[in-house]
Chains A and B, each alone.
Chain A
Amino acid sequence: MNLRRLRAIVRRVVAEVRRDRPSLALLFIAPIVVTGLLTFILREAETPDVTAVLVASADTPGPVVAAIEGALERGGIKTVQFDEATARVNVAHNPGWVAILLPPNLAGGTITLVTNGLNPSAEGAQIGAVQRVLVGAAVAAAGARAPTIAHETVYGTPSTDPMVPFAPAIVAFFLYFFVYLLTGISFLRERTGGTLERLMATPVTRSEVVTGYAIGFALFATIQVAVVLTWALGAIHVPALGPIPEFAIGLGIPVAGSPLIAFLVVVLLGLGAVSLGIFLSTFARTELQVIQFIPVVLVPQFLLSGVLFPVETLPAVVRPLVAVMPLGYAVDALRQVFIGGADLASGALQGDLFVLALVAVLFAWVASLTIRREVV
């Protein structure tokens, strides 16, 4: 090994990286942002806001109900009292509401907690908060041994399939990720290969370019989603054949709502991702730089959109960021469809769809501004 030649190579590598300022910045900023955010989320995870709906049976002694209510309020849990039907309706529509159905006799009875079941990991934290207060209060009030606590959900059954809450989030995330990557790189090639300049020398309008890209990639996004959804939701049973035993193709994740509505959600998300790719390709000079945007742009969305960590337990400081993560609206919408069986009449789903459509349109406009030409 010749040290001079070696030194020359080392020098060249260092010089190249030093000149590539975006890469250099990302080399340090990306890990700081990602590890910082992750640590923050895990360390500062907050007890979610819980509203307890106390439902007393006709035979539950009044003083016991009052004692439990007092204990919950002291524990920082807002408490209201409804009859069981009203309580269930409220729980179904309000994430963060837990109905507490009290038995006639606390001693040896079973307290049933009802949550809406859309976001099991967030509800786990909510139930934990209620349960801690409840057990102590019940023992003190009834002066008996601790009651049994059961959990049921309005949608789905609790803890049947651990994959259920993640499937919608993962479908949304991968779509977002790949559509961004494909568009970002192919649009970068348009910019660097001179074809965009040439295209801008034709009567083609900028909005035609962005819309054309969106439709073209939406086509592939649609196929991707169709394949992933079929794989995730389907379970095609292949009967036993000779020595080969019976088996199923697909993950067979149960879905409560219409796959077509889920489709609409991801298509809107994909359109936003196309525009994001076009927009960010402005700031990249090489394909490597398009990839380097991932930790800065996509990973925070992954962390803050409830894909793995429930939005409800995120530290209050980053909570406002959640509102501006397009992915979050898609994850929420898909959970409502998959687990809650929401249809287009659902107000919450309409809200998510509206935001996703708005993001798609807004980003398309911003993306078209990054295509430089003097005439629109």
Chain B
Amino acid sequence: MDAAIRAVALVKHFGVVAAVDGLTFDLAPGRIYGLLGPNGSGKTTLIRLLTGMTRPTSGQAEVLGVAMPNRPNLARIGYMTQADGIYPALTAGENVQFFAAAYGIEDMARVREALALVDLADREKTIAATLSGGQRRRLSLACALVHQPEVLFLDEPTVGVDPLLRVQFWAHFRKLADAGTTIVVSSHVMDEADRCDELLFMRAGKVIARGSGATLREQAGTKDLEAAFLHFAGVGAVAA
């Protein structure tokens, strides 16, 4: 099957700094990919390149066979930003409805479905500003899901999310992937990485290792992913 996401010699410079430094990879449809790396390793820039929010310095980013940036193609992509990106003065329902309309969907059933998916069905009429932090995070996810995208980018979706909610999030992600959605999750929390089908370790704009959690641990000869990351990052001494 064709790749859902493809990067070809993808480079993005900010001044002299290469935030993304020559990435080439294919990501298959219907799988969950984890972008793992410390802050500043280029995860968010990579997601912004793949969603077409920024133009590469060189190379190409493709989503569903279409070179990005491409505006019409955005209708098939979901993007949950690091910031909640919801309108605090609107109700939860109005927020989802607004983003649904931006994607060309005017069906309230779809709006309610998205709210139910993140367990906010009973909050439809609640003003977003009065929701708790975790509820706002879920609302943000609902806004990214409402148009049932084929590819979903989640930039640190579980930051500030309590463990119980985190489990629910991952259950949603798995359900979506099983239904064929390709999901790219960025995180710097290694313990959630094992829930991804495949991991891309990032450091200084480069992918330093790729594989399932088990494979990476095995290759590095370490018990946990954190140590595996340090191994691939060349900080070998700690790997033992």
Contacts and interface: CB of A to CB of B under 8 A. Distances in A.
A375 B69 contact: yes
Contacts of B55: 374
A375 B81 contact: no
Interface stretch (B82-90, B160-168, B177-185): B82-90
Contacts of A198: 79, 81, 85, 99, 143-144
Given A201-B51, A201-B79, A195 B86 contact: yes
B145 interface: no
Interface in B65-115: 69-72, 74-75, 77, 79, 81-88, 99, 102-104
Q: Is the interface of A mostly helix, strand, loop or mixed?
A: loop
Nearest to A198: B85
12 contacts: A193-B88, A194-B82, A194-B85, A197-B53, A197-B81, A198-B143, A199-B102, A203-B71, A203-B74, A203-B75, A203-B103, A375-B71
Contacts of A203: 71-72, 74-75, 102-104
Contact of A205 (B51, B69, B71, B85): B71
B69 A202 contact: no
Most buried by B among A198, A199, A376: A198
B102 A202 contact: yes
B219 interface: no
A285 interface: no
Contact of B52 (A193, A205, A374): A374
Interface string B34-45: 000000000000
A201 B77 contact: yes
Nearest to A376: B71
A373 interface: yes
Interface of B: 51-55, 69-72, 74-75, 77, 79, 81-88, 99, 102-104, 143-144
A200 interface: yes
Given A197-B53, A374-B52, A374-B69, A202 B74 contact: yes
A330 B51 CA distance: 43
Interface residues of A, number: 16
A376 B54 CA distance: 12
A6 interface: no
Contacts of A200: 53
Contact of A197 (B72, B74, B85, B102): B85
Contacts of A202: 74-75, 99, 102-103
A370 to B, nearest CB: 16
A128 B75 CA distance: 68
A174 B90 CA distance: 28
Given A375-B69, A375-B71, A376-B71, A201 B83 contact: no
B83 A204 contact: no
Interface in A102-122: none
The 3 closest A-B pairs by CB, nearest first: A194-B83, A194-B85, A198-B85
B83 A193 contact: yes
Interface in A180-214: 193-195, 197-205
Contacts of A194: 81-85
Nearest to B72: A203
A195 B140 CA distance: 10
Nearest to B79: A201
A374 B72 contact: no
Most buried by B among A193, A195, A373: A195
Contacts of B77: 201
Contacts of B81: 194, 197-198, 201
A114 B69 CA distance: 65
B175 to A, nearest CB: 22
B83 A197 contact: yes
Given A194-B81, A198-B79, A203-B102, 7 more contacts: A193-B88, A198-B143, A200-B53, A201-B74, A203-B103, A373-B69, A375-B70
B113 to A, nearest CB: 18
Contacts of A197: 53, 81, 83, 85
Nearest to B77: A201
Contact of B53 (A193, A204, A374, A376): A374
B108 to A, nearest CB: 18
Contacts of A374: 52-55, 69
Nearest to A209: B102
Contacts of B144: 198
Contacts of B53: 197, 200-201, 373-374
Contacts of B75: 202-203
